[in-house]
Amino acid sequence: MFTFKAFRAIDEPEICQMFIDGHANVLKDYGVTKVTSSNNEWKDNPFVFVVTVHEDSTGNVVSGLRIHIAHQNYPLPLEGAIAQVDSTIRELVGEYRQIGTGEIGGLWNSKAISGYGIGAIFLSRTSLVIAEQLNVPTLFALCAEYTLKPTLQKGFEIEEKIGNKGTFFYPKLDLVATLAILKDVKGLPLALEEERDYIFDLRKNLQCKRVEMTYKGPIEITYDLLIKNPNWK
């Protein structure tokens, strides 16, 4: 029913545009028309990698996420977003950039697939599958209230040095965001055993088909997570 495809953004401009259009429509549905992290310049950034979810029957991109690798010439989206409320974010990212870090962001689902858990469960797992291919040891995530719990279950922890012990209002005053960090992408020592085992298994089987159980019953997912051009260094 669905195909998950991983790639470097600059290698797939047409799919990137499908991602951008789909994400913009979702943001409009929630009344968000201007978000720093949705800046579309990422499609030309050599340090951005993407996972898209394609509906097999139509070929449409119905969900997606990005990983931005931190580089001094390409600030992470969360740096610009959080700097509005806490300027120390740039210094914090700079410290982690010395060993290698990035950001998982831009995760969205179309209304057509809401309720399956495609994004919060299955797609978010794939980000940690491709992160290992990218050899990035740490990752940040800027979480909405509904994505915080599944993010922490995958081994992230709240970064309390930013905002009010990791929380602040973004992108609107009635929406709470939380900054989380994963300090061991390879080992995932803080992840739930179920999550860690699933991610480790996908890392060994980057191209496979699975029948996954969702909130709406079983679905078939084709995973195509082998990045053909992963060397960003």
Q: What is the CATH number assigned to the segment(s) 2-224?
A: 3.40.630.30
Average pLDDT over residues 6-10: 97
CA separation for the pair 95, 82 (Å, rounded): 16
pLDDT at 49 over 70: yes
CA separation for the pair 26, 119 (Å, rounded): 13
Mention every residue, 6+ apart, whose C-beta is less than 8 A from residue 65. Answer: 50, 51, 104, 105, 106, 107, 108, 119, 123, 124, 126, 127
Task: Give me the pLDDT at residue 173, please.
Answer: 63
CA distances from 102 to 68, 72, 110, 136 (A): 5, 12, 25, 7
pLDDT at 35 over 60: no
Please report which confidence band the pLDDT of residue 144 belongs to, taking 50, 70 and 90 as the band edges: confident
Do 184 and 144 touch, CB atoms closer than 8 A?
Answer: no
Task: Give me the pLDDT at residue 188, please.
Answer: 98
What is the tens place of the pLDDT at every residue in 65-104?
999 999 999 999 999 888 888 889 999 999 999 999 999 9
* 3-state secondary structure at position 198: helix
Which amino acid, 95? E
Q: And the tokens for 88?
A: 């120390």
Mention every residue, 6+ apart, whose C-beta is less than 8 A from residue 155. Answer: 128, 182, 184, 188, 189, 190, 191, 195, 196
Please report which confidence band the pLDDT of residue 54 belongs to, taking 50, 70 and 90 as the band edges: very high
pLDDT at 231 over 60: yes
Nearest to 7 by CA among 134, 106, 176: 134
Burial of 97 (0-12, 13-18, 19+ CB in 10 A): middle
Q: How many residues does the chain have?
A: 233
Which amino acid, 86? D
Task: Give me the pLDDT at residue 67, please.
Answer: 97
Task: Give me the pLDDT at residue 101, please.
Answer: 97
Average pLDDT over residues 180-194: 97
Task: Give me the pLDDT at residue 133, please.
Answer: 95
Read off the pTM: 0.91
Q: How many CB atoms lie within 10 A of CB 56?
A: 12
CA separation for the pair 43, 19 (Å, rounded): 10
Nearest to 140 by CA among 194, 191, 89: 89
Average pLDDT over residues 166-188: 84
Task: Give me the pLDDT at residue 33, please.
Answer: 64
Task: Give me the pLDDT at residue 28, please.
Answer: 78
- Beta strand 167-169 with 176-182 is antiparallel
Please report which confidence band the pLDDT of residue 167 belongs to, taking 50, 70 and 90 as the band edges: confident
Please report which confidence band the pLDDT of residue 154 belongs to, taking 50, 70 and 90 as the band edges: very high
pLDDT at 143 over 60: yes
pLDDT at 36 over 70: no
pLDDT at 5 over 70: yes
